[in-house]
Structure 1
Amino acid sequence: MNRLHPFIDLDRDAVADLTADYSLGELRSVEPLVSGIINTNYLLRTDAGDYLLRLYPPERSADALRFEFSTLARLAEANFPCPRVIADAKGKTVGLSEAHTRHYAVLEFIPGETLAREAIDAGIVEQIGDLFADMQRTLSGFVPEGDKPRADLEFVRELGEATLDRVAALAGEGPATAARLRAIWAGSHARFDQPRDGAPSLERGVVHADLYFDNVIVEGDRVRGIIDFDDSYYGLFLIDLAVTLMEFTFVEADALDFGLGERLLRRYYARRPEAKGEAHLVHDGMICACFKYLGYTADLPEYAGEALLGNEYIARIDYLARPEIRAKVEAMVAAAVEAPS
């Protein structure tokens, strides 16, 4: 699944034209932010403040953007630290650049630094646990505007099958690797299909779907904001928890920091005790998340050809599938669930 898009070069005049109908103040500087691989982002510094100009890929519809922006508005109403979407003089939040055949938007720029992976520590994961719980509590029962395709179990199954077909076609270890991964996925998927006696149905709502360190803004040791909700969709809260847990506790491809994981989950379950009924599926949710991101990253240049066998998420899947690691994850989750609030 190719999600990569080239950066769109804009000069100062082009930026001024796109933002002419916004009350942003006098434009002082335009800085391209080239680290992204999907959207094109520019930091705009004006005499009224700092803003983010974002151009979305051509396939991103106005309906999908309304979904994202109504979600951000709901979170902003609850004082959740996320970007505010800026409307133009006519009250519109979604613009269309005919020259580039893609939609764009202007968002509030949250000051601070992107969280570095090596800066993740106990204090950071506890804040993430709190904020993640607050986000889900705010979005529970919320019905957004617009629509977005879902990216949960069935999507992951289809994406995973397509990716594993590519793995199976590789020379050497390709067929054996694909067969091993298919067996792991079949086991996890089956457990999702087997409801536990007395357990409620898995809760669905709007999920962030990409909460990892690059999407966290910090100042020193304090989390200032959660950004990049453009992958958000209506899906399983459990899968989103698994994604977040995985991304903040894997210190290496095959090494999970169980201490950090327990701290994050303790804070999460303390603020969302109603989610404890889904805790028995956290481990399988992490495996599901790995298959999803294996599919998402398979087209990165560093995984071309047989290099795909070295994908970080294949290593994570194999690691999580080890019986002793499953037991440790389940013990970590149980300790967090049983901890006093």
Structure 2
Amino acid sequence: MNGDELRQFWSIPEPLSFLPITQGVNNLTQVIETPAGSYILRSYRADRALEQIRYELGVLKRFQGRILPFQVPIPIPTMTGELFAVLSETVVSLSPRLPGSPPPNDNLEQAYAAGEALAQLVKALAELQVEITSQIAPFPPSGDFAVWSGIPIIPANLLQDLPLAKEEREQLLRIVEETQALSPSLYQTLPRQIIHRDYDQSNILMEGNSVTGVLDFEFCGPDLRVLDLAYALSQWPSGLWNTGKEWAIIDAFGKGYLRQQDLSIVELEALPLVFRLRATTSLFFHLGRFAQGVETAEEILERIQETLTTEAWLQIHAQELVRHAHRWRP
């Protein structure tokens, strides 16, 4: 991709320089430097459904004009008013580059600020209305496990092909079975709205103790309101599980969140189950990609080990997590 191709769709001054910075699950991100400023060019993978891209960009566009204490990557329309373009058979979108950098996971002040920002984002997303059609559709609710895999899969068969201990396979299948049985009750009892669904350190920008930007809305869509908090809490203490140091981070993030967004007692008490719900959805998603040859065995094994580590922690601390959650309220 070059500047001439890009200027077929967007009015960007020369000279241009392209610098790849990250490669996510569904896209490649590049920085474009110009005399007029910096931009982010996202190139979506070929297996990403076009209706999901339209939904993601439509959500972001609806933040235009809304006042938030941080920024989101609002897409810049093409010269014909579209929110994306197709260059060399690749779907791309353009947005301004946001200031800041991803935070570490061991700073209590930043964890608190990130919790506040997530709550503010959840409140803003609750106000958005995006019509779902055959051309505009999000990823499904997290409880629709079979849809997240992309193709029909049998987890037991795929796990059998991976170099896992028998106990690890059995534990993963037990998590899947129990979560599939319990998830319908979560969707019957807990509030739902549009949420981000991927709020972790890699998708947050900070300067000092202030969140400056929230990125990567590719998985956003209607789901359980509390799922964003559960996922963030399952990711933020990465590397700190079972050290005792995880609790300070969890409490800081949770208190920041509850300062801005109240949750019902039922939602707080469901946190351990929602942890497992998000982990099971992720397992189906990545096993599906593994079955399609999009992810390697090494990549799926890394994610499985993360799931097993978090599950081992939950087995010991699930009720303690709920007790802590009740103390997060101001």
**Smaller-chain TM-score range?**
0.7 to 0.9
Q: Which runs of 5+ in 2 are unaligned?
A: none
Task: State the partner residue of 1:128.
Answer: 114
Task: State the partner residue of 2:102.
Answer: 114
Contact conserved, 1:62 with 1:94, CA < 8 A, in 2?
no
Contact conserved, 2:40 with 2:95, CA < 8 A, in 1?
yes
Residue 69 (structure 1) shift: 1.5
Q: Residue 265 of structure 1 aligns to which amino acid in structure 2?
A: G
SS in 1 for 2:277: helix
What is the alpha-carbon distance in structure 2 between the residues aligned to residue 113 and residue 226 of structure 1?
11
What is the alpha-carbon distance in structure 1 between the residues aligned to residue 274 and residue 304 of structure 2?
22
Task: State the partner residue of 1:318.
Answer: 312
Are 1:58 and 2:49 counterparts?
Answer: no
Are 1:272 and 2:266 counterparts?
Answer: no
Alignment deviations for residues 194-237 of structure 1 (CA, whole Å, 9 cap, x no partner) = 47xxx983222222111111111122333211111112222222
Q: Which runs of 5+ in 1 are unaligned?
A: 1-9
Task: State the partner residue of 2:129.
Answer: 143
Contact conserved, 1:181 with 1:317, CA < 8 A, in 2?
no
SS in 1 for 2:282: helix
Distance 1:310 1:38, change over 3 A: closer
Count how many residue pairs are aligned between Structure 1 and Structure 2. 315
Residue 297 (structure 1) shift: 5.0
What is the alpha-carbon distance in structure 2 between the residues aligned to residue 150 and residue 214 of structure 1?
23
SS in 1 for 2:211: strand
Q: How does 1:179-198 map to 2 (within 5 A)?
A: 179-194=170-185
What is the alpha-carbon distance in structure 2 between the residues aligned to residue 209 and residue 26 of structure 1?
37
Task: State the partner residue of 1:303.
Answer: 298
Residue 249 (structure 1) shift: 2.7
Per the normalisation by structure 1, the TM-score is: 0.80
CA RMSD of aligned residues (A): 3.0
Residue 86 (structure 1) shift: 0.5
Distance 1:71 1:121, change over 3 A: same
Higher normalized contact order (CA 8 Å, seq sep 6+, divided by chain length): 2
Per the normalisation by structure 2, the TM-score is: 0.83
Contact conserved, 1:30 with 1:45, CA < 8 A, in 2?
yes
What is the alpha-carbon distance in structure 2 between the residues aligned to residue 227 and residue 172 of structure 1?
34
SS in 2 for 1:249: coil
Q: How does 1:172-321 map to 2 (within 5 A)?
A: 173-174=165-166, 176-194=167-185, 201-252=189-240, 254=242, 257-297=246-286, 299=290, 300-301=295-296, 303=298, 311-320=305-314
Distance 1:158 1:26, change over 3 A: closer
